[in-house]
Chains A and B, each alone.
Chain A
Amino acid sequence: MNLKELLQKGPFFLDGGMGTLLQERGLKPGEAPEKWGMTHPDVITDIQRNYYEAGTDMVLTNTFGVHPLRYSLSECEEMVRTAIGCADQARKAIADGKERFVALDIGPCGRLLKPLGNLDFEEAVQGFAEVVRLGVKYGADCVFIETMNDGAEARAALLAAKENSDLPVLVSCAYGADGKLMTGGTPESVVAMLESLGADAVGVNCSLGPDALAPIVERYLAAASIPVLMKPNAGLPQEKDGKTVYNVGPEEFSADIVPLIEKGLRIIGGCCGTTPDFIRAVKNASAGRVPPAVEKKEKTIIASRGHAIELGKDPVIIGERINPTGKKRLRKALEEGDMAYVLNEAIVQEEHGAEVLDVNVGTPGVDEPALLEQAVQELQAVTDLPLQLDTSDPEAMRRALRVYNGKALINSVNGKQEVMDAIFPLVKKYGGAVVALTLDEAGIPGTAEGRLAIAEKILKEAAKYGIGPKDILFDTLTMTVSTDGNAAKVTLDALKMIREKTGCGTVLGVSNVSFGLPVREVLGSVFLTLALENGLSGAIMNPLNERMMGAMISFRTLTGRDENCAAYIQYANDLPTMQAVTPAAGATGGAKETEAKGLRRAVVKGLCKEAANLTRTALEEGRDSLDLVKEEIIPALDEVGQGFEAKKIFLPQLMMSAEAAEAAVAEIKKKAANQDAQASKGIVVLATVKGDIHDIGKNIVKLLLENYGFTVADLGKDVPPETVLEAVERLHAPICGLSALMTTTVPAMAETVKLVHEKAPWCKVMVGGAVLTEEYAREIGADGYGKDAMASVRLAERYMQEQA
Chain B
Amino acid sequence: MKEGLRLAELGEIPFDEKEILRYAMLPSFAPAPEELPMKECLAAAKGAVQCRAVWCRYPLKRDGEELDLGFARTTSRGLKEHLEGCDEIILFACTAGAEMDRRIARAKLQSPAKGLLMHAIGAQQVEGGCDRLCRQLAEQFPDKQLTDRYSPGYGDLPLEMQKDVMTALDCGRTVGITLTDSLLMTPSKSVTAIIGMKERKPE
A653-B172 CB under 8 A given contacts A110-B178, A117-B180: no
How far, in whole Å, are A580 and B145 apart by their CA atoms in the complex? Answer: 62
Q: Is the CB of B179 within 8 A of A111?
A: yes
- Chain B CB within 10 A, most for which of A174, A176, A655, A745: A655
How far, in whole Å, are A182 and B98 apart by their CA atoms in the complex? Answer: 7
Q: Is the CB of A184 within 8 A of B33?
A: no
| B138 adjacent to chain A (CB < 8 Å) | no
| A584 adjacent to chain B (CB < 8 Å) | no
Q: Is the CB of A656 within 8 A of B33?
A: yes
Q: Is the CB of A652 within 8 A of B173?
A: no
Q: Is the CB of B33 within 8 A of A693?
A: no
| B153 adjacent to chain A (CB < 8 Å) | yes
A696-B3 CB under 8 A given contacts A30-B168, A650-B25, A653-B30: no
Q: Is the CB of A111 within 8 A of B181?
A: yes
| A480 adjacent to chain B (CB < 8 Å) | no
How far, in whole Å, are A70 and B120 apart by their CA atoms in the complex? Answer: 34
A650-B27 CB under 8 A given contacts A605-B33, A659-B111, A693-B180: yes
Q: Is the CB of B112 within 8 A of A703?
A: yes
How far, in whole Å, are A15 and B173 apart by their CA atoms in the complex? Answer: 20
A745-B181 CB under 8 A given contacts A108-B172, A607-B34: no
Q: For window 637-693 of chain A, which residues contact chain B by CB distance below 8 Å? A: 649-653, 655-656, 658-660, 690-693
How far, in whole Å, are A696 and B30 apart by their CA atoms in the complex? Answer: 21
How far, in whole Å, are A108 and B170 apart by their CA atoms in the complex? Answer: 11
Q: Is the CB of A244 within 8 A of B178?
A: no
Chain A residues near B106 (CB-CB < 8 A): 347, 382-383
| B26 adjacent to chain A (CB < 8 Å) | yes
Closest Cβ–Cβ distance, residue B124 to chain A (whole Å): 14
A381-B102 CB under 8 A given contacts A149-B176, A659-B112: yes
Q: Is the CB of A347 within 8 A of B109?
A: yes
A691-B167 CB under 8 A given contacts A19-B2, A29-B4: no
Chain B residues near A206 (CB-CB < 8 A): 173
| A115 adjacent to chain B (CB < 8 Å) | yes
Q: For window 341-387 of chain A, which residues contact chain B by CB distance below 8 Å? A: 343-344, 347, 381-384
| B42 adjacent to chain A (CB < 8 Å) | no
Contact residues on A (Cβ < 8 Å of other chain), bracket: 35 or more
Q: Is the CB of B115 within 8 A of A699?
A: yes
Chain A residues near B60 (CB-CB < 8 A): none
Q: Is the CB of A184 within 8 A of B98?
A: yes
Q: Is the CB of B4 within 8 A of A652?
A: no
Q: For window 93-128 of chain A, which residues contact chain B by CB distance below 8 Å? A: 108, 110-112, 115-119
Q: Is the CB of A651 within 8 A of B24?
A: yes
| A417 adjacent to chain B (CB < 8 Å) | no
Q: Is the CB of B102 within 8 A of A382?
A: yes
Chain B residues near A382 (CB-CB < 8 A): 102, 105-106, 109
Chain B residues near A653 (CB-CB < 8 A): 26, 30, 33
Chain B residues near A656 (CB-CB < 8 A): 33, 35-36, 113
Look across to chain B and name the residue whose beta carbon is closest to the beta carbon of A611: B35
Q: Is the CB of B112 within 8 A of A699?
A: yes
Look across to chain A and name the residue whose beta carbon is closest to the beta carbon of B7: A237
Closest Cβ–Cβ distance, residue B29 to chain A (whole Å): 10
- Chain A CB within 10 A, most for which of B6, B33, B159, B176: B33
How far, in whole Å, are A650 and B184 apart by their CA atoms in the complex? Answer: 28
Q: Mark B60-98, 1 if CB is under 8 A from A, else 0.
A: 000000000001000000000000000000000000011
Q: Is the CB of A381 within 8 A of B105?
A: yes
Q: Mark B1-40, 1 if CB is under 8 A from A, else 0.
A: 1111111000000000000010011110010111110000
Chain A residues near B119 (CB-CB < 8 A): 696
Chain A residues near B184 (CB-CB < 8 A): 118, 691-694, 742, 744
Chain B residues near A651 (CB-CB < 8 A): 24-26, 116
| A608 adjacent to chain B (CB < 8 Å) | yes
How far, in whole Å, are A607 and B34 apart by their CA atoms in the complex? Answer: 7
Chain B residues near A239 (CB-CB < 8 A): 6
A608-B35 CB under 8 A given contacts A651-B25, A655-B113: yes
Closest Cβ–Cβ distance, residue B8 to chain A (whole Å): 12
| B188 adjacent to chain A (CB < 8 Å) | yes
| A272 adjacent to chain B (CB < 8 Å) | yes
| B101 adjacent to chain A (CB < 8 Å) | yes
Closest Cβ–Cβ distance, residue B17 to chain A (whole Å): 12
Chain B residues near A447 (CB-CB < 8 A): none
Chain B residues near A609 (CB-CB < 8 A): 35
Chain A residues near B35 (CB-CB < 8 A): 606-609, 656, 660
| A588 adjacent to chain B (CB < 8 Å) | no
How far, in whole Å, are A382 and B106 apart by their CA atoms in the complex? Answer: 5
Q: Which of A30, A383, A702 contacts B167 (CB 8 A)?
A: A30
Closest Cβ–Cβ distance, residue A405 to chain B (whole Å): 12
How far, in whole Å, are A752 and B176 apart by their CA atoms in the complex? Answer: 32
| A167 adjacent to chain B (CB < 8 Å) | no
Q: Is the CB of B109 within 8 A of A340?
A: yes
Closest Cβ–Cβ distance, residue B37 to chain A (whole Å): 9
A652-B187 CB under 8 A given contacts A149-B173, A344-B109, A700-B112: no
How far, in whole Å, are A609 and B176 apart by their CA atoms in the complex? Answer: 41
Q: Is the CB of A742 within 8 A of B115?
A: no
Q: Which of A116, A693, A699, A703 contacts B98 (CB 8 A)?
A: A116
Q: Is the CB of A29 within 8 A of B3?
A: yes
| B199 adjacent to chain A (CB < 8 Å) | no
| B117 adjacent to chain A (CB < 8 Å) | yes
Q: Is the CB of A117 within 8 A of B186?
A: yes
Q: Mark A162-181, 1 if CB is under 8 A from B, else 0.
A: 00000000000010101000
How far, in whole Å, are A116 and B98 apart by their CA atoms in the complex? Answer: 7
How far, in whole Å, are A237 and B8 apart by their CA atoms in the complex? Answer: 12
How far, in whole Å, are A116 and B103 apart by their CA atoms in the complex? Answer: 11
Q: Which of B25, B33, B102, B186 contacts A606 (CB 8 A)?
A: B33
How far, in whole Å, are A387 and B172 apart by their CA atoms in the complex? Answer: 28
Closest Cβ–Cβ distance, residue A185 to chain B (whole Å): 10
A272-B178 CB under 8 A given contacts A116-B98, A656-B35: no
How far, in whole Å, are A660 and B112 apart by their CA atoms in the complex? Answer: 12
Look across to chain B and name the residue whose beta carbon is closest to the beta carbon of A350: B106
How far, in whole Å, are A545 and B188 apart by their CA atoms in the complex? Answer: 37
| A395 adjacent to chain B (CB < 8 Å) | no
A694-B188 CB under 8 A given contacts A115-B105, A652-B36: yes
Chain B residues near A695 (CB-CB < 8 A): 108
How far, in whole Å, are A652 and B117 apart by their CA atoms in the complex? Answer: 8
Q: Which of A347, A607, A691, A700 contacts B116 (CB 8 A)?
A: A700
How far, in whole Å, are A381 and B168 apart by their CA atoms in the complex? Answer: 30
Q: Is the CB of B4 within 8 A of A111?
A: no
- Chain A CB within 10 A, most for which of B2, B34, B172: B172
A696-B108 CB under 8 A given contacts A149-B172, A382-B102: yes
Chain A residues near B183 (CB-CB < 8 A): 742, 744
Look across to chain A and name the residue whose beta carbon is closest to the beta carbon of B95: A182
Q: Mark A228-253, 1 if CB is under 8 A from B, else 0.
A: 00000100010100011000000000
Closest Cβ–Cβ distance, residue B76 to chain A (whole Å): 14
Look across to chain B and name the residue whose beta carbon is closest to the beta carbon of A271: B1
Closest Cβ–Cβ distance, residue B64 to chain A (whole Å): 22
Q: Is the CB of A652 within 8 A of B116?
A: yes
Q: Is the CB of B99 within 8 A of A110?
A: no
Chain B residues near A110 (CB-CB < 8 A): 166, 172, 178-179
How far, in whole Å, are A690 and B132 apart by their CA atoms in the complex? Answer: 35
Closest Cβ–Cβ distance, residue A145 to chain B (whole Å): 14
Look across to chain B and name the residue whose beta carbon is closest to the beta carbon of A343: B109
How far, in whole Å, are A272 and B1 apart by their CA atoms in the complex? Answer: 6
Closest Cβ–Cβ distance, residue A419 to chain B (whole Å): 35
6 pairs of A and B residues whose beta carbons are closest in the complex? A691-B182, A182-B176, A651-B25, A656-B33, A117-B186, A606-B33
Beyond A244-B5, A696-B108, 7 additional pairs, beta carbon < 8 A: A112-B180, A344-B110, A382-B102, A651-B25, A652-B116, A656-B113, A691-B181
20 sample A-B contacts, Cβ–Cβ < 8 Å, listed by A number: A30-B168, A116-B98, A149-B173, A182-B97, A182-B176, A184-B102, A382-B109, A605-B33, A609-B35, A652-B26, A652-B117, A655-B113, A656-B33, A691-B182, A692-B182, A693-B180, A693-B184, A696-B116, A699-B115, A700-B112
